Structure 1
Amino acid sequence: IGAGLMRTGTNSQMKALEILLGGRCYHMEVIIEEKRHHLKLWLKAATEGLTKELADEMLSEFRACTDFPAAHFYSELMQIYPEAKFILSLREPERWVQSVRATVYKAQSAGKHILPPIAWLIGFNYMDKLQTAMFPRMGMNPGMSDQELAVAFDRHTEAVIRTIPKERLLVFRVTDGWEPLCKFLNVPVPDVPFPCVNDTKNFNVKLVHLYFSDQF
């Protein structure tokens, strides 16, 4: 289970875990492409609490999960799945701030300000509602300064390390490659390059579309 924030190499991590575990990894990309109804379920988790039944409904067909919104439920998932291991993906806080502003927050702003009457008519759907509900849990929001966001990033890192037992947690950067990840998961190192996915432009297009699509 990935406990790292969005834009910390979670897409590369998803691809790597799928190679190592021989099954699918749950990620925001999956929600955007095929599980949009899960936004409503995550909203329920954010407002009413994440139960095992709800977690199983969303995650049971996957071997792993990472990225928003699942990563922000690491504490609950640690209890729900006591045998699960966790990966805290990191990057430099300042670079993370730049990345999240250029992707997630940019798409969110577009969703709110481009053709707002249309967005309102389709209910703005659940993406905006979910992000708003998640802000207190995340400890960050687009209105914060760059410095405040960097501090929030560090605060999340500290909270994960403090909460998850060290034997169940790998602190990881995608630049670390296969070795620490494979050792942590007790699997052989594959004879393929470690995935390196940088999909900022494609990500933005998909996320803006998600804001405006009439999903429900």
Structure 2
Amino acid sequence: MTIALRKLGYNPYHGSECFKNPPRDFNLWIEAMECNFFNTHPEKKPAYSTEEFDRLIGSYDAVLDVPACLFWKDLAAAYPDAKIILTNRDVDAWHKSADATVFKFMRIPFFRVWQHMDSKVLGPLFRNSELVWKIFCGNNYEEAVVKQAYLDHYEQIRAAIPKSRLLEFETGKDGWKELCEFLDEPVPDDESWPKAYPTAEFQHHMDLAMAGAIRTIVQWTGLGLAVGVGAFLLRKNWSMLAR
């Protein structure tokens, strides 16, 4: 859907955009989730609305993926003229993909520990993800729990958004015709519906995060070794001088 919107001339904000400026984007989404879902003092920290969303995603004209999809009700209210696309996907296929990527990431002990060592990428990413799935499924990654949360999410949107404003897009079935009619856009000529491989893309980001962590560990180990050797040589030289 992100690729299709770009081909139609839109500038969509997908969740992967966060990796372009991790400290800014992840931390702003963390703030947004804390304000809108876990706010015990709304008089001190107002919920995100039009002004705050403009600050976060104002340079884009569409938004997809997590964490944004959790804010569907707030975004619909903040932008009353915006149209909403509900991308229907088989729950079993969704779970297979999610379990191999985001849920796998949340279950790896290394990342849970390393978040405290990395304040630029992995730390904000992990805290952002933890809040996302706390809202979505209470951080319970059992198959039955997350599947029910997925189905409930769809039903809540269907019940709240007027049909005139909502497109139910059937993944694997619908294409340019359905999307372009809904958005009042011309259908691209001789253009097949785009395909993407989000599992591979997510794994790529995780590989980069792991590689960065390993580099830091190696640097720390090297520094520790250098300090140890330096201290040994200093003690040895001092001992020789003392004689």
Query: Of 41, 50, 59, which aligns to 2:28?
Result: 41
- State the partner residue of 1:202: 201
Taking a change above 3 Å as real, the CA distance of residues 211 and 153 of structure 1, as seen in their structure-2 partners, is: farther
Partner of 1:120: 116
Listed one character per residue, the Cα deviations across residues 14-38 of structure 1 (whole Å, up to 9, x for unaligned) are 0101112x13210112112345511
Match 1:134 to one of 129, 132, 135: 132
Q: Which protein shows a greater Rg?
A: 2
Could you tell which deviates more after superposition, 41-50 or 132-141? 132-141
- Which residue pairs with 2:62 in the alignment? 64
Letter in 1 for 2:5: L
Q: Structure 2: any 5+ residue segments left out of the alignment?
A: 37-47, 214-243
Distance 1:183 1:195, change over 3 A: same
Q: 1:190 aligns with which of 176, 188, 191?
A: 188
Distance 1:181 1:213 in 2: 39
Task: Work out the percentage of aligned pairs sharing the same amino acid.
Answer: 28
Contact 1:103 1:203 in 2 (8 A): yes
Q: Partner of 2:5 in structure 1?
A: 17
Q: What amino acid maps onto 1:181 in structure 2?
A: L
| Correspondence list, 1:166-177, <5 A | 166-175=163-172, 176-177=174-175
Pair 155,45 (structure 1): closer, same or farther in 2 beyond 3 Å: same
Q: Is the 8 A contact 1:88 1:170 kept in 2?
A: yes
Aligned mates of 2:106, 2:134 — CA distance in 1: 17
Q: Separation in 2 of the partners of 1:211 and 1:55?
A: 31
The 3-state SS of whatever aligns with 2:135 is: helix
- Counterpart of 2:192 in structure 1: which amino acid? P
CA contact under 8 A between 1:119 and 1:212: conserved in structure 2? Answer: no
Change (3 A) 1:210 1:114: closer
Change (3 A) 1:131 1:211: farther
Cα drift, residue 127 of structure 1 = 1.8
Instruction: Answer whether contact 2:101 2:199 (CA < 8 A) is retained.
Output: yes
> CA 1:74 to 1:58, structure 2 compared with 1: closer, same or farther past 3 Å?
same
How does the TM-score come out when normalised to structure 1?
Answer: 0.82
- With 26-35 and 57-66 compared, the bigger mean Cα shift is at 26-35
Number of residue pairs matched by the alignment? 198
Q: Secondary structure at the match of 1:170?
A: strand
Q: Once the 2 structures are TM-superposed, how far is the Cα of residue 63 of structure 1 from its aligned partner? A: 1.8
Contact 1:140 1:149 (C-alpha < 8 Å) held by counterparts: no
- Give the deviation of 1:53 after TM superposition: 1.8
Q: Is the 8 A contact 1:127 1:211 kept in 2?
A: no
In structure 2, the residue corresponding to 1:120 is in which secondary structure? coil
